[in-house]
Structures are given as structure tokens and as C-alpha cells.
Amino acid sequence: MARTEFLAERINRIKPSPSMAAKALVDKLRAEGRDIIDFTIGEPDLNTPTHVVEAAIDAMHRGETKYTGSSGTPALRKTIAEKLHRDNGLEYGAENIVVGSGGKHVIFHALAVSLNRGDEVIIHAPYWVSYPDMVVVNDGVPVIVSGTEQQGFKLTPESLEAAITPRTKWLILNTPNNPTGAVYTEAELVALGEVLERHPHVWVMSDEIYEHFVYAGVRHVSPVKAIPSIKDRSLVISGASKGYSMTGFRLGFGAGPTSLVNAISKLVSQTTTCPSSISQAAAIAAFGGSQDAPREAAKVFEARGKLMAELLEGVPGISVKAPRGAFYLYPCVAGLIGKTTPDGQALNSDLDVVKYFTEYAGVATLDGSAYGVAPYLRLSFATSEESIREGCKRIAQACNELR
């Protein structure tokens, strides 16, 4: 029997996360001695706040190094309920909270406990690359609704209405959005809510992992706050990774009806048992302590995003807008398609542009194709100002050398 025949059909339905694959490529090129500027990064480059690190160390010294309940410790679940009240104006009890090993872990488990074969999940493109694969591996069918730049890359009530069928189980909403940085206004959410109110069988997965990162006076509004009628059929997702520079702690949460939260917890009890006890202690300090770190990080990212957009403005073939949220730009590269590189290669897609920038200019980026809307690039500005300046200079030069 060939080795691959041993593997389940399920694993062949999905691909490795493109951003993790890009990270591996950057590591490989650097190991070969190449000088690569990395604009693929999906995590803050800032340090984890000191009081959070200390909370983790203190927890270890106190002996909080053992299994916890599969939904998380009572103290952390209470802190998260308080955080949701303080930051998002949402009222949940500790019993509505499930803590997971990252927001991704909670989303995966939520899909696993709710999807039957053939159930549909509406995903608006451009989307975070993991949503469709997480749906597919759990026997669901992603229903991709393509967004356009003219609509600010936001789902409209009309396209939501058109996508809903009797098999629709979930709508995944992501605000602020990865990869476009789009942030839904309260009015836009209310308009989507009017459609959702007509279809009470549709649940809403509200991924708010970038909630701290909104710019230019834009405010983050939780969809569940804007549309209170969906609260008993919604799962709010957030976590410590982005706002508190804690990606390696692997700590996220879901807030929703106890029926769903308990089902997730039941599955977690048979998969990872519980999130790391040490990370949970750290998360109490993050969510419950001083909120200076996410506020400061937002200022840093706002300045960097603005800088990156300014440096790319006017580069021939690239069309860019200043970001509203998250830490990504999603420039259109239609103007580069059809051009020829100095080595005589034709650029036929955004994948070719990524290859050209990586190999020729030493700047790693991600293709919009992976995020469902092409030809675009996803550029992360969660990197130093120096790297932003150098990377944009190289991109501009590479574009100027195209024929």
C-alpha cells in the first residue's frame, strides 16, 4: 500500500495554511543566506507585555501547571465575560465562555460540533485562508460570496440574502478583516441583521480577533452588539494573540449559547483536554489588567500602515488604500499583470507577482488568490519601520524594472 493511501480522504481535501507555507519559504531562503524582507507576517512583532509574562511565570511558581477544566479556568472565563462587557458592550456569563488554544482552535471545534455533511457556511471573500479549509475538513461546504473593492470588500445585504439556502448553517463575519483591513460600521451590520432576522436558522460566527486594531477614527463594533437578535445564535471569537502579542501562548475564546459552548468543550475534552494552564493565567492578566499594550500597539500599527500605504502610492502597477483595521494592506496589482520581468518572465497572475518580488526583490508577500480575490497582494505591516521602508523601496524598484 502506498504511504498516501493510508491517509484519510479528509486530509486530501485541504491544503496547508498558505501563510505558514510562506513563513517556511522565508525561513528557507534566509537559511540559504538571502536577505529577505518579510511582509507575510500574521502576528505582531511587539513584545508580550511584561505583566503578562510575569503572570505566566508566577502561575508556574504557584504550581498552576496542571490540567484545567476543558472550557478553561473559572477565573479566566469570568475575566473574559467582564472583558466582553467592558470592551464590546456584550453581556455574557462565565458559563457562555469556552477558552481554546487560540481562536483558530475554537472556530475549528465550533464547526466540528455543528456541521453535518453538506451543511453550508457562507464565507465572504477575500477571507482568512483557514475558514474554507476548516469547513471542508469538517464535511461542510463553503459558499464563497465574492466581494469587490468598490464595496470596500464588505458583504452586502443583497449578496448575503442570495447566498442563504435551507442548508446554510453559519455565516462567518470577520471584522476587522484579514486580509483587507475592512471594518464594518454599525449601520452596515444592522443592514446585514435585517437579512439575518428573516433567516433564523443561520448562525453567525463573529471573528473579532483584530478588534483592537482600528485606525483613522474607525470604531470596532461587535456584530452581536449591533444585531442583538442574533445573540442566541452567534459565537463571538477573539483571543490574546493579536491584541496582546501573545500568538505563541495559543489562547483564544468563544462566547455564545451554552448549548454550543458545552458541545465545543465536550469535543475539547477529547482532543486537547484543555488550553495551557500557564497561558490561561497569563490571559487573565492580559484581558483583566492594564489595557495600555493593545492601545499602544494600535498606535504603532496605525503609523506603520499609513507609512506603507504612502510608500506604495504612486508605484506603477500597484493601487493601494490606507488601512482601516487589522495590520494588512491589500493592494490591487492588476497593473502589473501582463508585464515582463528583466529575466523575460511574463507576470500572468498575482502568484507570479509574489514569486517575482520574492526571488528578484527579496520581499516576501502573499497572493490575493489564496484569499479568494485576485489579483491582489496581502502585505503585513506588523514589522519594523525600517523593514517597511526597505521592502517598499525594493518593490518600487522591481516594478520600475518591468517592461
Ligand X SMILES: Cc1ncc(COP(=O)(O)O)c(C=O)c1O
Per CB under 6 A, residues contacting ligand X are: 42, 102-104, 128, 174, 178, 207, 209, 239, 241, 247, 252
User: Would you say 165 or 273 has its CB closer to ligand X?
Assistant: 273
Residues with Cβ within 8 Å of 388's Cβ and at least 6 positions away in sequence, in order, are 304, 307, 308, 311, 381
Please name the residue ranges forming H helices in 62-205: 74-88, 103-114, 130-137, 157-163, 186-198
10 by Cβ neighbours in 10 Å (0-12 / 13-18 / 19+) ranks as exposed
Measured from the Cβ of residue 185, the count of other Cβ atoms closer than 10 Å reads 15
Measured from the Cβ of residue 312, the count of other Cβ atoms closer than 10 Å reads 21
User: Would you say 179 or 317 has its CB closer to ligand X?
Assistant: 179
Length of the chain: 403
User: Would you say 172 or 395 has its CB closer to ligand X?
Assistant: 172
- Torsions phi, psi of 181, nearest 5? 80, 5
Residue 291's SS3 state is: coil
Give the CA diameter of the chain.
Answer: 64
Interatomic CA distance for residues 401 and 297, integer angstroms: 36
- Least distance CB 128 / ligand X (angstroms): 4
Interatomic CA distance for residues 94 and 284, integer angstroms: 13
Nearest to 312 by CA among 204, 215, 389: 389
- Least distance CB 46 / ligand X (angstroms): 15
Is residue 376 within 8 A of residue 396, CB to CB? The reply is: no
Nearest to 145 by CA among 164, 122, 177, 128: 122
- Least distance CB 191 / ligand X (angstroms): 22
Nearest to 41 by CA among 388, 294, 389: 388
Interatomic CA distance for residues 76 and 256, integer angstroms: 16
- Least distance CB 107 / ligand X (angstroms): 7
- Least distance CB 356 / ligand X (angstroms): 25
User: Would you say 68 or 175 has its CB closer to ligand X?
Assistant: 175
- Least distance CB 124 / ligand X (angstroms): 12
- Least distance CB 359 / ligand X (angstroms): 26
Please name the residue ranges forming H helices in 171-291: 186-198, 223-226, 258-270, 277-288
Interatomic CA distance for residues 208 and 128, integer angstroms: 12
User: Would you say 104 or 124 has its CB closer to ligand X?
Assistant: 104
- Which DSSP letter does residue 334 get? G
CB-nearest residue to ligand X: 102
User: Would you say 252 or 375 has its CB closer to ligand X?
Assistant: 252
User: Would you say 103 or 140 has its CB closer to ligand X?
Assistant: 103
- Least distance CB 325 / ligand X (angstroms): 11
User: Would you say 175 or 341 has its CB closer to ligand X?
Assistant: 175
- Least distance CB 235 / ligand X (angstroms): 12
User: Would you say 156 or 174 has its CB closer to ligand X?
Assistant: 174
- Least distance CB 366 / ligand X (angstroms): 12
User: Would you say 235 or 398 has its CB closer to ligand X?
Assistant: 235
